[in-house]
Structure 1
Amino acid sequence: MPKGRHMTPVAEKDLDPRLHDMLRYWRARCRDGRLPGRCDIDPIELKALLGNILLIDVVRQADGTLRFRYRLFGTEFIFYHGRDLTGRWLDEIANVGFRDELLALYRAVVTNREMRTLSYDYLVDGLRHRFQAVLLPLATNGCEVDIVLGCGVRIAVY
């Protein structure tokens, strides 16, 4: 990956089959141009991916800015981050470059009301663990995104 860049876009056709399944699941809940809400997502139906899921609350501030807070931080992410970030604000992430890149992605999902697909790496014990992920907008009222549903899966170790 280029220096200073933590995440790169991935074409939908190149996504891992598990992420294709997640996209099919999400798209099946999009109806009449409306986004699904959190209530449309059944964790039982996503059982195989539960450890790979993030739920990020979109918190609109009085001045119009957006803040993001982890509502759910899946166990796979806890393993790679070394701690559970459930309840933590994303703008408090210490790594400024990573934080700013992540916040820009979430803002784009919210503002454009559309998914993002990406690839990123974790370094663990000298090995690079390559992940792919999808970020999917959810909206209680079908229009205004209030949660981002993320799913990331490891695709390679080298």
Structure 2
Amino acid sequence: MARSIEGLLARVRHPTLKRMVTFWDEKRRGRDWPLRADFDPLEFWFAVGYVSLIEVISAPGSGARRYFFRLDGTRQVDLFGVDFTGKFLDQVADAEGTRVAEESYGAVVDQGEPQHHVRQVDFHDRPIQYEIAILPLSKTGEGVDMLMTVVTRDEES
């Protein structure tokens, strides 16, 4: 049975992020997480530029994972100054950024639960403060193998 996201929603500050988390929850339809096929960008037009889709690629037997950006939202590209689309996380982020993202992404994959963070980072020598929700998705319903991130500039900074 899918867990409640009330605590998550209570922490989310940005209205677009809150609306997208609610939309993700509706798409679960009582499941632990929605399928990737459940999402039509026309239905979440209000957040399209804030959303990235990240494929989780697990190495058989080793437990190692890499994160491949199928799509990086235009607002995320504007915020970070780099387009991750078509690249692995570790090809674009520095070692510390990769470590922080892999830790957060891994928690979502392992627990099957969304994560929320407000962070301030130095990315390519620029300070950036942002709010992020990391939402688990599945291609087949058998496990988390894709992530949807929704990132907004932190409005309270």
TM over 0.5: same fold?
Answer: yes
In structure 1, stretches of 5+ residues that fail to align are: 1-9
CA drift at 1:32: 3.4
Task: Give the equivalent residue in structure 2 for 1:152.
Answer: 151
In structure 1, C-alpha distance between the alignment counterparts of 2:128 and 2:90, rounded to whole Å: 24
In structure 2, C-alpha distance between the alignment counterparts of 1:13 and 1:57, rounded to whole Å: 28
Instruction: Write out per-residue CA displacement over residues 124-148 of structure 1, whole angstroms, 9 at most, x where no aligned residue.
Output: 9xx9653211100001222311110
Instruction: Write out per-residue CA displacement over residues 89-110 of structure 1, whole angstroms, 9 at most, x where no aligned residue.
Output: 1123452111101001111111
Of 31, 41, 44, which aligns to 2:42? 44
In structure 1, C-alpha distance between the alignment counterparts of 2:32 and 2:11, rounded to whole Å: 26
Q: State the SS of the aligned residue for 1:67.
A: strand
Give the structure, 1 or 2, with the largest relative contact order (CA under 8 Å, sep 6 or more).
Answer: 1
Task: Give the equivalent residue in structure 2 for 1:4.
Answer: none
Q: State the SS of the aligned residue for 2:42.
A: helix
With the length of structure 2 as denominator, give the TM-score of the two structures: 0.82
Q: Which amino acid aligns with 2:65?
A: L
Q: State the SS of the aligned residue for 1:152.
A: strand
Q: Which amino acid aligns with 1:82?
A: G
Count residues with an aligned counterpart: 148
In structure 2, C-alpha distance between the alignment counterparts of 1:54 and 1:33, rounded to whole Å: 22
Instruction: Write out per-residue CA displacement over residues 19-38 of structure 1, whole angstroms, 9 at most, x where no aligned residue.
Output: 22111111111133342111
CA RMSD of aligned residues (A): 2.5
Q: Which amino acid aligns with 1:14?
A: R
Q: Does residue 112 of structure 1 match 2:72?
A: no
Task: Give the equivalent residue in structure 2 for 1:103.
Answer: 102
In structure 2, C-alpha distance between the alignment counterparts of 1:98 and 1:116, rounded to whole Å: 17
Task: Give the equivalent residue in structure 1 for 2:3.
Answer: none
CA drift at 1:81: 2.6
Alignment check: 8 A CA contact 2:9 2:21 kept: no
In structure 2, C-alpha distance between the alignment counterparts of 1:139 and 1:46, rounded to whole Å: 18
The structure where strand makes up a greater share of residues is: 1
